[in-house]
Amino acid sequence: MMRVILALAVLILGSTGGEIAITYGMKATGEPARLRPRALLQFLGRALRNGWFWVGVPLMAVSFYALLVLLSWEPISLVIPASALSYVVGTLGAKYVLREQISAARWAGVLLVCAGVALVAAG
């Protein structure tokens, strides 16, 4: 059971950490000036030179491998709902790392996700 909890923590923290790092990097990169091939290539070049992008990609890769491991150990009916806890960690990261404003409705959604995961874990 401890290995499942550890793999789940790697899955959740890796995916959320990767998403937050990539979001941070993409906000610093900006958006493409136009949806034309040259502007898109320039945008891609800026994104690939951003260090946060390269922090996020390996974190998301580790998270994916943790998901594969979990799926080999546990039923998908447990793994996928438990991985929904990444919504909770993501919301906390958005608030405290990215300094986003989180509405009361979103916090209510986070609580519903927690309740749903608890119901699934209870069996």
Cα–Cα nearest to 65, from 11, 21, 16, 22: 11
Q: What is the pLDDT, as a whole number, of residue 82?
A: 84
Q: How far is CA 117 from CA 21, 74, 75, in A?
A: 25, 15, 14
What residue ranges do the domains of the chain occupy? Answer: 2-122
Mind listing the pLDDT tens digit of every residue in the chain (123 residues)? 899 999 999 999 999 999 999 999 999 988 888 889 998 999 999 999 999 999 999 999 999 999 999 999 999 988 988 888 898 999 999 999 999 999 999 999 999 988 988 888 787
* Tokens encoding 101: 């404003």
What is this structure's pTM? 0.82
Q: What is the pLDDT, as a whole number, of residue 33?
A: 80
